[in-house]
Amino acid sequence: MTDTVKKVVLAYSGGLDTSIILKWLKETYNCEVVTFTADLGQGEELEPARKKAEMMGIKEIYIEDLREEFVRDYVFPMFRANALYEGTYLLGTSIARPLIAKRQIEIALETGADAVSHGATGKGNDQVRFELGYYACKPDIKIIAPWREWDLTSRTKLIEYAEKHQIPVPKDKRGEAPFSQDANLLHISSEGKVLEDPWVEPDLDLVLSRMVSPFNAPDKPTEITIDFEAGDPVAINGEKMSPATLLTKLNELGGANGIGCIDIVENRFIGMKSRGIYETPGGTVLFHARRAMESLTLDRGGMHQKDELMPRYAELLYNGFWFSPEREMLQAAIDKVSEKVTGTVRMKLYKGNVLITGRKSPYSLYSEGMVTFEEDDVYDQRDAEGFIKLNALRLRLRKGL
């Protein structure tokens, strides 16, 4: 296979692992390498990645700001489904992979590359997510997954390889890094090393980088409003914002109040369990706000049906099937139900909690006249007797009515 690859597009962060992969690809496959670095809001300066790629002799370097596309076309559609994997995980890493994969294939077509490559290991979910995305966008693409091919099977070997080829090694990687992190505008995940034992309590002051610990959050709550149109948030405190700007602001507000940290053990698609600490401050605020908006605007049948679809939708995203026909089918149903999810939600953010204090909508299905405890002329309470008896009929028959 090594003599059949002429040019490869590498998903390149500029960090130690992908810099080693860049050199390894050139050395092993004797091919041209195109680097692609996506700005998905990870909060890092990306120009050093360009300089490092140039230093390593790369001529075609792509660094692109995809934050708006990421939030508008991937994060917000996912949030319309209220997607939670295994009841807790807001899918922050999962949702970033299809966009990176799609853009890699587009760059491969633009540059005449015949292969793509990623830095995901052979133990994790990301290898599956990237490669399902590649194949969905270009079925005949060649894929190079170095972690499944090379013999650099330890951190020590990686560093030895880097030093041999004059690849800069960050000082904090010379020893055992405390944990590994992956970040984008939706979340930051921390896994591995000191976090691998699920019984060991994490040092949140060490782990958290986008939010304060709930224990250190302010004693005074922050009150905000979020406006929704057709299922998507469009404004905070009445100020209209673009999707990426809005999520950035929610990250600031949620993070300052200690909102959005979870410590979970999850089931990876490939079969093993893993423990991770996830920070999703803005996404957590948005999740609760959307549920509050839906409670006012969705009919019971539509709302409950959407909730039944959600676990399947979340599993598809977690496993890497964003481009599958079944995800698109579910998305169409979810988007249809979301058409009237429009209005304003008011909430208080306080020490890790999102406290809903009000909601209003021009499409509200809530009727004060129906639910009032005072006298009314719109509901005949005697109607309930027949309703109850009909629903009790099968239960009564079981007892020999």
Distance (Å, whole) CA 274 – CA 298: 36
Q: For residue 299, give both structure tokens.
A: 């009919």
Active-site entry in 19, 80, 94, 97:
97
Catalytic residue, from 126, 189, 210, 290: name it: 126
Strands (E), 51-169: 61-65, 115-117, 142-144
Every domain range in the chain assigned CATH 3.40.50.620:
7-66+92-177
E strands within 241-342?
261-267, 273-279
Q: Which two tokens mark 348?
A: 């208080």
- Identified catalytic residue from 50, 114, 180, 307: 180
| CATH class for the domain made up of 181-360 | alpha beta
Per-residue pLDDT reduced to its tens digit, 9-67:
999 998 888 999 999 999 999 999 999 999 999 988 888 899 999 988 999 999 999 99
Beta carbons of 40 and 66 less than 8 angstroms apart: yes
- The 10 Å Cβ neighbour count of residue 17 is 19
User: Which residue's structure tokens are 């496959």?
Assistant: 29
Can you tell me the distance from the alpha carbon of 245 to that of 76, in angstroms, rounded to the nearest whole number?
Answer: 13
17 is catalytic: yes
Show the beta-strand stretches assigned E in 28-88: 32-39, 61-65
Q: Is 266 left (phi over 0), alpha (psi -120 to 50) or beta?
A: beta
Per-residue pLDDT of the chain (401 residues; tens, 9 = 90+): 455 899 999 999 988 889 999 999 999 999 999 999 999 999 888 888 999 999 889 999 999 999 999 999 999 999 999 999 999 999 999 999 999 999 999 999 999 999 999 999 999 999 999 999 999 999 999 999 999 999 998 778 888 998 898 887 765 544 445 578 899 999 999 998 889 999 999 989 889 999 999 999 999 999 999 999 999 999 999 999 999 999 999 999 999 999 999 999 999 999 999 999 999 999 999 999 999 999 999 999 999 999 999 999 999 999 999 999 999 999 999 999 999 999 999 999 999 999 999 999 999 999 887 777 777 778 888 899 999 999 999 999 999 88
* Whole-prediction pTM: 0.93
Catalytic residue among 17, 39, 227, 232: 17
Scored b (16 or more CB within 10 A) or e, 276-290 reads: bbbbbbbbbbbbbbb
- Please indicate whether residue 126 is annotated as part of the active site: yes
Topology classification of domain 7-66+92-177? Rossmann fold (3.40.50)
CA angle 113/126/321 to nearest 5° reads 85
Cβ atoms of residues 73 and 164 within 8 Å = no
Instruction: Check if the beta carbon of residue 105 is closer than 8 Å to that of residue 280.
Output: no
Work out the burial of residue 202: count CB atoms within 10 Å of its CB; fewer than 13 is exposed, 13-18 middle, 19 or more buried: middle
Tokens found for residue 153: 């099977």
Is residue 382 flagged as an active site residue? no
Q: Where in the chain is the domain with CATH 3.90.1260.10?
A: 181-360
